[in-house]
């Protein structure tokens, strides 16, 4: 599998968490759990800022930072 970590040559946001696979009729399949600790990273193509996070709450904060201050914010809200 290719390395999807953002770099200055390939800026963007990447979040990863391995899912827990369950049978289709297992009610627990809707739980918000993952098989591995979520990780995330970004590199902004406009200002060059970058950051990484590990753990669900920190990755959530990283995505919020990206949304509020980088990617979409630099493009005036456009994707």
Q: Name the strands in the sheet holding 50-54, side by side, starting at the edge strand that comes first in the sequence.
A: 12-16, 39-43, 50-54
pTM of the model: 0.71
The pLDDT of residue 6 is 85
The pLDDT of residue 61 is 96
Say if residue 1's pLDDT is above 70.
no
Q: Where are the domains of the chain?
A: 35-79
Higher pLDDT, 26 or 47: 47
The pLDDT of residue 52 is 95
Q: Residue 2: which H helix or E strand, with range?
A: none
């Amino acid at each position: 599998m290719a390395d999807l970590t953002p770099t200055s040559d390939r800026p963007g946001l990447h979040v990863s968490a391995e899912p827990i696979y369950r049978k289709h009729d297992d009610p627990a399949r809707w739980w918000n759990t993952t098989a591995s600790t979520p990780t995330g990273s970004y590199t902004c193509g406009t200002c060059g800022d970058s950051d990484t996070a590990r753990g669900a709450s920190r990755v959530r904060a990283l995505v919020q930072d990206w949304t509020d201050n980088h990617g979409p914010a630099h493009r005036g809200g456009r994707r």
